Structure 1
Amino acid sequence: MKIDILAIGAHPDDVELGCGGTIAKLISEGKTCAIIDLTKGELGTRGTEHTRKTEAENAAAILGVTARENLGFKDGFLVNSEEYQLEIVKIIRKYRPEIVLSNAIDDRHPDHAKASKLVSDACFLSGLIKIKTQLNGSDQEAWRPKHIFNYIQWKNIEPEFVIDISEHLDQKLKACAAYKTQFYNADSAEPITPIATKDFFESLTYRAQDLGRLSGVTYAEGFTSEKLIALKNFDGIVL
């Protein structure tokens, strides 16, 4: 299965929060996208891994992604191990993406930065022909994505570029709101967490609005890049 964009998150909801608008926009433009969750988010204070699974499926349907998988790594204890790297290599070789979107390079939750490095290393290793992997009994061919871009999460990391999501913010917010156990709900009796406040959910809009203000659009999502980006020309730049 060949897709254009592979979005990876340490936990179900990371992708929606960090780059849900970008995914929605790319899909509307005819690109194909799959989401990979590394863990089930089983250590989350609110909800369960089972409610999280249903919520992730609902969010994926809202965004319109081609596929969503969960690798079942251990929540809270992500390690950059050979075992985890090879599982991600298998996924990269399965979907053969041109671009990988991954967790923030530095963040409040330790799994996020760990996932960023883990995914980066796996993307490199996936391109080595002497690393042999199989999927469903068949040998996989080496594949290395052309770009790895890291979305922004809790911390206000300065982006190296932004994507205009002005027409897709509502779709992003609906996908995030699909995680009913995780975010603000005035009727919920579950413990309040930093991401379960009204202010946090509202921050998804005002962060996008602020990045839009700085870049001359209405709403935007920011990314960092592992390598210097070259433009063929100035087409596509918002002037």
Structure 2
Amino acid sequence: MKLVELAGSGERLSVLCIGAHSDDIEIGAGATVLGWIERGVRLDVHWAVLSASRLRASEALASAKAFLAGAAQSVIEVAEFKDGFFPYQGAEIKTWFEGLKRRVSPDVILCHSRNDAHQDHREVSMLTWNTFRDHVILEYEIPKWDGDLGQPNIFIPASGALIERKAKLLCEHFGTQGSKDWFDAQTFLGLARLRGAECRAPDGFAEAFYMRKLVLQ
């Protein structure tokens, strides 16, 4: 497979990262964001978390700042929609998305997969596609006990050092998630190693995404 770059060193890339919960973006696309920054891409990031209140909001802000250190520009936005109830807050969240569309028009959007087993994740994916109709959208994956991992079709290789840094930052910033039996460095490293094998990544690691539509010129 031939490696295709979205942006190279010194080039600008505008990215909208959307996560239902405070750790979702980091789990699904953390190494990709870190990798773009490390390679010298002039990253302009709008980082939006829909459900984070009190302690989880503090975790979300601190983690986002750590992952975005070195980005050319960054805006971090945290909302307080009720965790687990997104399908029942559809009208309010849709209104929030319409406001988001007026604030940002990115080159690339990173969001949840439509096949994710978590109802909040699926709602975010649906509204992302419903709101942003002329953008490149990459849907990331979240490992969890549901066993909903599928067969992604887009791979972004990452170095072993980047994957380890991603896992370290996740464990450092999200202490509230430590009780979850799947939330640990082994899970994040293991999934990245599997995806790296599937795309024959140079360093053996990758993050994987789903792409529904792409127009090539």
TM-score interval w.r.t. the shorter chain?
A: 0.7 to 0.9
The AA in structure 1 aligned to 2:208 is G
Question: Equivalent residue of 2:176, what SS?
Answer: coil
Give the match for residue 76 of structure 2.
Answer: 68
Corresponding residue pairs, total: 191
Give the match for residue 13 of structure 1.
Answer: 23
Matches of residues 191-202 of structure 1 in structure 2 within 5 Å?
Answer: 192-196=179-183, 200-202=184-186
Q: 1:174 to 1:95 in 2, by over 3 A?
A: farther
Q: 1:222 aligns with which of 199, 204, 208?
A: 208
Q: 1:22 to 1:160 in 2, by over 3 A?
A: same
The AA in structure 1 aligned to 2:191 is R
The AA in structure 2 aligned to 1:195 is W
Root-mean-square deviation (CA, aligned residues, Å) is 2.2
Matches of residues 132-151 of structure 1 in structure 2 within 5 Å?
Answer: 144=134, 146-151=135-140
Q: Does 1:109 align with 2:109?
A: no
Following superposition, the deviation at residue 93 of structure 1 comes to 2.3
Q: Does 1:58 align with 2:62?
A: yes
What's the TM-score once normalised by structure 1's chain length?
0.72
Following superposition, the deviation at residue 193 of structure 1 comes to 3.2
C-alpha contact 2:140 2:209 (8 A) present in aligned 1: yes
Following superposition, the deviation at residue 8 of structure 1 comes to 0.3
The AA in structure 2 aligned to 1:51 is L
Give the match for residue 32 of structure 2.
Answer: 22
Output one character per residue of 1:147-189: Cα deviation in whole Å (capped at 9) or x when no partner.
1110011222211110012152133213312111212xxxxxx
**What stretches of structure 1 move > 6 A for 4+ residues in a row?**
none
Larger radius of gyration: 1
Following superposition, the deviation at residue 30 of structure 1 comes to 2.0
C-alpha contact 1:160 1:223 (8 A) present in aligned 2: yes
Question: Equivalent residue of 1:163, what SS?
Answer: strand
What's the TM-score once normalised by structure 2's chain length?
0.79
Following superposition, the deviation at residue 229 of structure 1 comes to 5.5
Between structures 1 and 2, the one with greater helix share = 2
Identity %: 26
Please list every run of 5 or more consecutive structure 2 residues that lacks an aligned counterpart in the other structure.
Answer: 1-11
Give the match for residue 209 of structure 1.
Answer: 193
Q: Does 1:181 align with 2:191?
A: no
Question: Equivalent residue of 1:74, what SS?
Answer: coil
Q: Does 1:33 align with 2:77?
A: no
Between structures 1 and 2, the one with greater strand share = 2
| Alignment partners' CA distance in 1, 2:122 and 2:31 | 21
Following superposition, the deviation at residue 3 of structure 1 comes to 6.8
Q: 1:88 aligns with which of 93, 97, 111?
A: 97
| Alignment partners' CA distance in 1, 2:31 and 2:194 | 15
Give the match for residue 237 of structure 1.
Answer: none
